[in-house]
């Protein structure tokens, strides 16, 4: 089961990601924007997704892992049950959230580096 420490380990591998706080809870930011944060009541990881279509696909595709609350209606965020999410999928979610806010040149350099490494 991934923990906040795992989220930090995965997220800070990405260029420009910083650990901070948001709304009084632990958060990861890139360029000052929140890509994810912990939430209480209910306990979950709030993650930025690329768009509302991805949000709906996640919510409908795996409701045991992804959910929302009325507070997030109309916003491209999902709540993730860390105790239920696959660690590989968590990494993909964090990378997608990073891509939303990272500078395009940084994303291009990251992609080139990953391609050169064969990943």
Rounded to an integer, what distance in angstroms lies between the CA atom of residue 53 and that of residue 62? 14
pLDDT of residue 105: 96
Architecture of domain 4-116: Alpha-Beta Complex (3.90)
1 pLDDT above the threshold of 90: no
What does residue 44 show for φ and ψ, rounded to 5 degrees?
-170, 165
How many residues in the chain? 119
**Under 8 Å between Cβ of 47 and 78:** yes
pLDDT in tens, 99-117: 999 999 999 999 999 998 8
Whole-angstrom distance between the N-terminal and C-terminal Cα of the chain?
Answer: 24
pLDDT of residue 38: 96
pLDDT of residue 117: 86
pLDDT in tens, 11-70: 999 999 999 999 899 999 999 999 999 998 889 999 999 999 999 999 999 999 999 999
């Amino acid at each position: 089961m991934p923990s906040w420490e795992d989220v930090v380990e995965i997220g800070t591998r990405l260029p420009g990601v910083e650990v901070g706080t948001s709304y009084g809870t632990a958060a990861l930011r890139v360029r000052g924007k929140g890509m994810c944060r912990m939430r209480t009541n209910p306990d979950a990881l709030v993650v930025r997704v690329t768009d509302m279509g991805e949000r709906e696909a996640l919510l409908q595709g795996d409701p045991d892992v992804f959910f929302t609350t009325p507070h997030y209606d109309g916003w491209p965020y999902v709540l993730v049950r860390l105790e239920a999410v696959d660690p590989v999928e968590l990494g993909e979610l964090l990378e997608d959230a990073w891509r939303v806010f990272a500078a395009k040149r940084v994303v291009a350099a990251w992609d080139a580096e990953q391609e050169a490494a064969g990943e």
